[in-house]
Amino acid sequence: MIVTRDRAGLVKERETLGVGAGGATLGLVPTMGALHEGHRSLLRLAHEKADHVAVSIFVNPLQFGPAEDYSRYPRTFDADLEVCAEEGVSLVFAPAPEDMYLPDRQVGVSAGRMGAIVEGEFRPGHLDGVLTVVLKLFNLVRPDLAVFGQKDAQQLAMIRRMVADLDVPVSIVGAPTVREPDGLALSSRNRYLSRDDRAVALALSRALAAGAARRTPEEVRRAARAVLAAEPALAVDYLVLVHPATFEEVGDDHSGEAILAVAAKVGSTRLIDNVTVTL
Ligand code: AMP
């Protein structure tokens, strides 16, 4: 396994792996580290689709708001390298922030209207920061495909949008959300939760399951809302039922697939989750 912090070394490392002119394909799994079973499932999916798997580990300052948890975000580099080695990763790219962004940086990717709704309404600039770093990682690593989790459904939809709008030559693969046996979606931020917090956090996946069992938009929203309302310790940012590709709210007459997405704070920890609903 090649581990590099050096962006300049990436071209050479690709050659070593026989990627590109050598004929081998490369799948990239972008992460912020603190790797868990959810990340492992992405690595396994990347292995199924590409000859070699690259992982980036980079806590991207651009996607955190000033009052968010950038400085206290979990950083577990040594354990992450073990996970990568166990999962047969060929290349780990872990740049330092000062090597990713020029001090006089001016240009970034704009997530447009879709970046300002739902998650974007509560985290202004977050999705611009995500798209900017993902495009940079694509340009540096030059993968054939990249795998992203459905756990961050709006992020995945926006990356598909960026690739289509900007003709980015990378295939985007979505991966299902990995959950604890009791339903809690795995997240690097779950380690902030106390035992009591964790019990409260379960209301998110319970609400989504209650909604997903219904068949009309009105019933879905009502069933999910009732579960959230029964958990007063949860500070809900949003519960929305949206089109999978645009994240616009679906109308009451919508049929087919939609995404039921929720974001809420448990104490100081903000969690998001979503599920696909068939209407
Ligand atoms: P992060 O390190 O949180 O930026 O996540 C890196 C990638 O892992 C993103 O594509 C996430 O959507 C994905 N991911 C995070 N949690 C899960 C999960 N529980 N199941 C599947 N994928 C996940």
Does ligand 1 have an atom closer than 6 angstroms to the CB of 59? no
Alpha helix segments (H runs only) across the chain: 10-17, 37-49, 77-86, 97-100, 119-122, 126-141, 153-165, 195-212, 217-229
Ligand 1 atom index nearest CA of 33: 2
Mark residue 252 as left, alpha or beta (left: phi above 0; alpha: psi -120 to 50; beta: remaining). Answer: alpha
- Could you give the CA distance from residue 274 to residue 262 in angstroms, rounded to a whole number? 6
Q: In whole angstroms, what is the distance from residue 114 CA to residue 213 CA?
A: 27
Assess whether the C-beta atom of 31 lies below 6 angstroms from ligand 1: yes
Q: Binding site: residue ranges?
A: 32-39, 63, 149-152, 155, 178, 186-189
Q: Phi first, then psi: give them for residue 215, nearest 5 degrees.
A: -120, -10
List the structure tokens of 159. 């990356």
Q: Pick out the residues of the known binding site for (R)-pantoate.
A: 63, 155
Q: Is 152 close to ligand 1, i.e. is its CB under 6 Å away?
A: yes
Cα 186 to ligand 1 centre (Å): 8
d(CA 204, CA 6) in angstroms, rounded, equals 40
Give the Cα separation of 125 and 62 in Å (integer).
8
Q: What are phi and psi of 220, to 5 degrees?
A: -60, -50
Crossing angle, helix 195-212 and helix 217-229, to 10 degrees? 160
Half-sphere exposure of 74 (CA within 13 A, CB side): 17
CB 36, CB 77: distance < 8 Å: no
> Relative to the CA of 148, which ligand 1 atom is closest?
10
**Nearest-atom index, ligand 1, CA of 32:** 2
**107: CB partners within 8 A, 6+ apart:** none
Tokens of 114: 């879709």
Pocket test for ligand 1, best of 152, 191, 270, 271 (most atoms within 8 A of CB): 152
With a 6 Å cutoff on the Cβ, whether 60 touches ligand 1 is no
Binding site membership of 157 for ligand 1 (Cβ less than 6 Å): no
What pLDDT, on the 0 to 100 scale, is given for residue 9?
87
Rounded distance from Cα 25 to ligand 1 centre (Å): 22
Residue-level pLDDT, tens digit, the chain, 279 residues: 999 999 988 989 999 999 988 999 999 999 999 999 999 999 999 999 999 999 999 999 999 999 999 999 999 999 999 999 999 999 999 999 999 999 999 999 999 999 999 999 999 999 999 999 999 999 999 999 999 999 999 999 999 999 999 999 999 999 999 999 999 999 999 999 999 999 999 999 999 999 999 999 999 999 999 999 999 999 999 999 999 999 999 999 999 999 999 999 999 999 999 999 999
Alpha-carbon distance 79 to 225, whole Å? 38
